[in-house]
Amino acid sequence: MRVTKHIPGVFCWVELGTSDQQAAKRFYGEMFGWTANEIPVGPDTIYTMFKLNDLDVAAAYSLSSEELSSGIPPYWGLYINVENANATAKAIVAAGGKLLAEPFEVFDVGRMAIAQDPTGAHFKIWQPLNHIGVSVVDENNAMCWAELATRDLETAKKFYSTVFGWDPQTKEDDGMRYTEVFVNGADGKPVAFGGMYVMMPHMEGIPPHWLPYFSVADCDGFVQKATSLGAKAHVPPMDIPNVGKFSMLTDPQGAAFAVITLKNFS
């Protein structure tokens, strides 16, 4: 689906911080058919804009030596669309979150801040100026969902509802409690765009985090090919009744992401 404007409160951009930008370009180009548009943003610094059918779909940059030496691993970061970065930053702090970077201008394309929710998960906010974020969502090889793994679901629900106006709805199915989050669309109807769940005991040692999902035509085939290229499948392809089949992976540099083949999806 082509996007020309994002609803406030939804995820609008997905960005890979990696230890090997060239290798990441090859991997994601091979897996998703993304092409790379290289943008110089400083001395010896390149920002890679990934495109799908000439539409912006994601980005990648190299983590600094300081970030890598401090233990920051490669990761996919998610941005939430906001109307006013300064006001949202204040709301984040007031609701119990932390600002890791105060709002700042990104050239003439937007204004952003880096934050951490009260349960420990990192995210970014984006006030668009000349760049809205992704121009395509909910298509094969594009972002279609985002998911929070947390150890304190109720605190997370309260925080994001307070700051971004989300409507979290928790359901239990076959013993699994899962929370979908909604915002009102341009037509006033609720739009589901992400989820939350309580981290399980086997995830001990993994910090709370947001994870992007990308839609693919064939989950099994994708995972087989990705692992042949050096990725690891931490959750092998699994069926979700009435939804589809998904898998959670890390790319060859260690950045986590998920893919899903949705039923009745075109």
Burial class (CB in 10 A: 0-12, 13-18, 19+), 14: buried
User: Domain end: 83, 102, 128, which one?
Assistant: 128
Question: What's the CA gap between 216 and 140, in Å, rounded?
Answer: 5
Q: Are residues 115 and 189 in the same domain?
A: no
Instruction: For residue 89, tell me if it sits in a domain.
Output: yes
In a shared domain, residues 28 and 80: yes
- Is 199 found in the same domain as 96? no
Number of residues in the chain: 266
Beta bridge partners of 235: 248
Separation CA 172–CA 244 (nearest Å): 18
Q: Is residue 257 part of a domain?
A: yes
CA–CA separation, 210 and 223 (whole Å): 21
Q: How far is CA 13 from CA 173, 222, 228, 229, 258, in A?
A: 30, 23, 28, 25, 16
CA nearest neighbour of 146 among 203, 187, 202, 195: 195
- End-to-end, the C-alpha distance of the chain in Å comes to 10
pTM: 0.96
Whether residues 120 and 151 share a domain: the answer is no
Residue at 1 is within a domain: no
Instruction: Classify residue 28: in a domain, yes or no.
Output: yes
Assess whether 123 and 164 both reside in one domain. Answer: no
- Whether 57 maps to a domain, the answer reads yes
pLDDT at 185: 87
Amino acid occupying residue 119: T
Same domain flag for 147 and 252:
yes
Torsion of CA 89, 194, 26, 266, to 10 degrees: -140
Higher pLDDT, 242 or 174: 242
Query: Pick from 133, 93, 94: which is nearest to 111 by CA?
Result: 133
Q: How many structural domains does the chain have? A: 2
CB proximity list for 122: less than 8 A, separation 6 or greater? 77, 100, 114, 115, 116, 209, 210
- Assess whether 121 and 152 both reside in one domain: no
Based on the domain organization, do 32 and 96 belong to the same domain? yes
Tens of pLDDT, residues 71-103: 999 999 999 999 999 999 999 999 999 999 999
Burial of 104 (C-beta count, 10 Å sphere; 0-12/13-18/19+): exposed
The answer to whether residue 168 sits within a structural domain is yes
CA distance 114 to 121: 11
Q: Are residues 105 and 153 in the same domain?
A: no
Tens-place pLDDT, residues 100-156: 999 999 999 999 999 999 999 999 999 999 999 999 999 999 999 999 999 999 999
Following DSSP, what letter does each residue of 170-213 receive, concatenated?
Answer: EEEETTEEEEEEEEE-TTS-EEEEEEEEEPPGGGTTPPPEEEEE
- Answer yes or no: is 175 within a domain: yes
Number of C-beta neighbours around residue 38 at 10 A: 11
> What is the CATH number for 87?
3.10.180.10
Range of the domain at 164: 143-262
The least confident of 38-42, 158-162, 171-175 is 171-175
165: left (phi over 0), alpha (psi -120 to 50) or beta: left
In a domain, 6, yes or no: no
Q: What is the mean pLDDT of the chain?
A: 95
